[in-house]
Chains A and B, each alone.
Chain A
Amino acid sequence: MNAEQKRAWLGVVTMSACVLGYFVLLPLFGPVVATAAFAFYGINGFAGLIGRHEAVDERDTHIARRATLAGAMASYMAFVIGCMGTWFVVFAFQRQEQVWVHVLGTITMLGAIVFFFTRSVAILVLYGRHVEASDA
């Protein structure tokens, strides 16, 4: 397992902890306090310490680039669907035309979590699959 895979595993664990923590805190303290679970997100910052001196080559770069693209696509979809979906739910069930301000922060964090989670999973999957270099 190389440094990129170790960083990906850290990403999967921390992002899972964020989501799990949010849904544990949600029924106990409500949607505002539950966002405190996103503090787990900060642990992902230690990823920069993993394999700082380990060499990377074209395959690592290519896999990281594809995984980042997958993460960005998933994140964009989660953010847009989260924004519009929340508004739809609030309007459809509560007949309100305004969305609570804390929802935007939650959806932004959701987008970031989806980005890192998808990117990490994509890295772990791509290292086990056949990959072609971009100019091959």
Chain B
Amino acid sequence: MPEITNNIRRLRFDHNEMTQEELAQQAGCTRQTIIALEAGKYTPSLALAFRIARSFNCRVEDVFTFSEDTSTE
């Protein structure tokens, strides 16, 4: 099953300890969505993923990681 993980929490602290509220304002979403993203409870749309990456001045791949579990049972 494919899984998308993210480095948002680390990137926030790397960017002058940006608060969740600040990131939410820059990315155009709510703070609750940032909390859900950091907790791995939400997989964002492409548009939001790009906006978050733009907030950190980096590429989407630097924020989000796609890993596909190819193991068969």
| Chain A interfacial residues counted at CB < 8 A | 16
Chain B residues with CB under 8 A of A136: 4, 43-46
Q: Is the interface of B mostly helix, strand, loop or mixed?
A: mixed
Asked if A59 and B4 sit within 8 Å, CB to CB, the answer is no
Q: How far is the CA of A59 from the CA of B43 in the complex (A)?
A: 9
Q: Is the interface of A mostly helix, strand, loop or mixed?
A: loop
Range of interface residues on B (Cβ < 8 Å): 10 to 19
Chain A residues with CB under 8 A of B45: 58, 133-136
Chain B residues with CB under 8 A of A131: 36, 41-43
By a beta-carbon cutoff of 8 Å, the part of chain A in contact with chain B is 2, 55-60, 128-136
By a beta-carbon cutoff of 8 Å, the part of chain B in contact with chain A is 4, 28-30, 32-33, 36, 40-48
